[in-house]
Structure 1
């Protein structure tokens, strides 16, 4: 288990280091029309230009024009009128922490599921052995239909897993009873 945790931690550190250089916390994003609108006048797709600049320089002149200056010489003002620029600030550290937390929780759930899958054959093996069963009121109803109240063996389940399997068995009996009532007798349980 130590090795798995170390491996997961190493992979997360490598991912965080690789992602660190790809995104900026503060940037200017300009949404502009395609360059063909200047020359053809037809409506076309929009393009997004992003650049990490200070808020005072978040405009078309500082973000878009340096990228397209060769394509729209002399028509910069006409092109910039159709661009919408806004400054964005986000906290990527918080986003990373939340993503790591979600991945960690999912990993724990997968390990827990694996544990339960390994434990299930052991529990089913124990259930097939004749054991004593705890006497409850719900069991009285089932035993009355079969004759005497002592016809079913009593099973003692002192641990938590035993109680869970007992609840599962009780639920399965209720589902079977409900199916019998709906399909055979055409009535519903209340």
Structure 2
């Protein structure tokens, strides 16, 4: 089992190294009874033309010039190291965010206080008068955590008010 994993990694490294950073790409449209084709070859920029890239030549010797005039050849260059570094940075950021999310999922129950606003829906009408009113000076938190909790409380209160409105409308319709 361990050796199969090592061979997969070696295959992946070989696959990654099989690409070149420069190439000449010739796009040749259909010509007479020959279908169109795309040719790629690793050649220098000065040799990026139909005569050096298109092999084997699909037309006989006297039609080569006419065929090559139809082909469009472009020299392409890329930096595989830049691509690799960008992918590594991207994966690192995503991994860090996932670890942070896991950390918050584990720590959140420990730092969360009992929330008096999270009552079951069937008890909402009974307990609405008993809810403690939050003092405005107390609602303004100094720390980020207190501000986030305050925003959560406001959001939960709005959601509960919307639920109550929907259920009241539902009762009136039925």
* Range moving further from structure 2, 101-110 or 171-180: 171-180
Partner Cα distance (1:112, 1:84) in 2: 50
- Relative to structure 1, the CA distance from residue 174 to residue 153 in structure 2 (aligned partners, 3 Å threshold; closer, same or farther) is closer
Quote the residue 2:152 is aligned against: 168
Partner Cα distance (1:60, 1:85) in 2: 7
1:109 matches 2:97: yes
1:72 matches 2:92: no
Give 1:105 shift.
Answer: 0.7
Deviations 1:42-82 (A, max 9, x none): xx5x4221112111100000001xx223x433332232122
Which of 44, 47, 51 does residue 57 from structure 1 map onto?
Answer: 47
**Residue 38 of structure 2 aligns to a residue in which SS?**
strand
Partner Cα distance (1:61, 1:120) in 2: 67
**Residue 68 of structure 1 aligns to a residue in which SS?**
coil
Partner Cα distance (2:143, 2:167) in 1: 36
Structure 1 length normalisation: TM-score?
0.58
Partner Cα distance (2:167, 2:65) in 1: 76
- Relative to structure 1, the CA distance from residue 68 to residue 15 in structure 2 (aligned partners, 3 Å threshold; closer, same or farther) is closer
- Relative to structure 1, the CA distance from residue 26 to residue 97 in structure 2 (aligned partners, 3 Å threshold; closer, same or farther) is same
Q: Any stretches of 5+ residues in structure 1 without a counterpart?
A: 1-12, 131-144, 186-190
- Relative to structure 1, the CA distance from residue 15 to residue 162 in structure 2 (aligned partners, 3 Å threshold; closer, same or farther) is farther
Give 1:117 shift.
Answer: 1.9
Quote the residue 2:28 is aligned against: 32
Deviations 1:64-107 (A, max 9, x none): 1xx223x4333322321221001112222222221211111111
Q: Give RMSD over aligned pairs.
A: 3.7
- Relative to structure 1, the CA distance from residue 184 to residue 154 in structure 2 (aligned partners, 3 Å threshold; closer, same or farther) is closer
Give 1:115 shift.
Answer: 1.4
* Number of residue equivalences: 145
